[in-house]
Amino acid sequence: MNAPSREGPTPWTDPALLVATCGGVGRAPVAPGTFGSLVGLPLSLATGAAAAWVASRLPAAGPLEARLIEAGLIVGLFLLGIPLCSRAAALLGSKDPGPVVLDEAVAVPAVLLAVPLADRGPAVLAAAFVLFRIFDILKPPPVRQLERLPAGLGIMADDIAAAGFAAACLAAARWQGWI
- For the chain, list the strands marked E by DSSP: none
Q: What are phi and psi of 115, to 5 degrees?
A: -130, 130
Q: CA-CA distance, 24 to 139, in Å (whole number)?
A: 25
Q: Write down the pLDDT at residue 36.
A: 97
Which of 172, 110, 113, 173 shows the shortest CA–CA distance to 136? 110
Q: Write down the pLDDT at residue 7.
A: 59
- In b/e form, how buried is each residue of 35-69, taking b as 16+ CB within 10 angstroms? bbbbbbbebbeebbeebbebbeeeeebeeebbbeb
Q: CA-CA distance, 176 to 77, in Å (whole number)?
A: 31
Q: How does pLDDT run across 109-146, given as a tens digit for each residue?
A: 999 999 999 999 999 999 999 999 999 999 999 999 99
Q: CA-CA distance, 92 to 159, in Å (whole number)?
A: 20
Is 26 exposed, middle or buried (CB count within 10 Å of its CB: 0-12, 13-18, 19+)? buried
Give the residue ranges of the chain where pLDDT is below 70: 1-8
* In the chain, where the domains are located: 29-175
